[in-house]
Structure 1
Amino acid sequence: MPESKDKYKHRDWKAYNESLCRRGSLVLWLDEKVYRHWRDVSLHGKSRGSL
């Protein structure tokens, strides 16, 4: 029978849970012009010119 690997035991559950919440998060930095264009399109359903 193959040896089983030792399992890591979490002792700091608060930090572990916070790290799970942060995993897979995505942060976008948008230029103000891009944000205004995106907002205008979503509010009015059409573009009001080019960026």
Structure 2
Amino acid sequence: VRFESLDGEPLNQQDVIGLYVSLSGNFKICSSELLNMWGDKKAYSLAQGQ
């Protein structure tokens, strides 16, 4: 699952952890990666179809 902000505002780690807590009741979370931005450039590759 990839979480992205709808309004362009950055998500902080507490936001992401809150989402994981919400999902953890129904899904096993085995790993996570934080995707960063450098200024206005994405510091990660896009998923297929994006």
Higher strand proportion: 2
| More contact order relative to length (CA 8 Å, sep ≥ 6) | 1
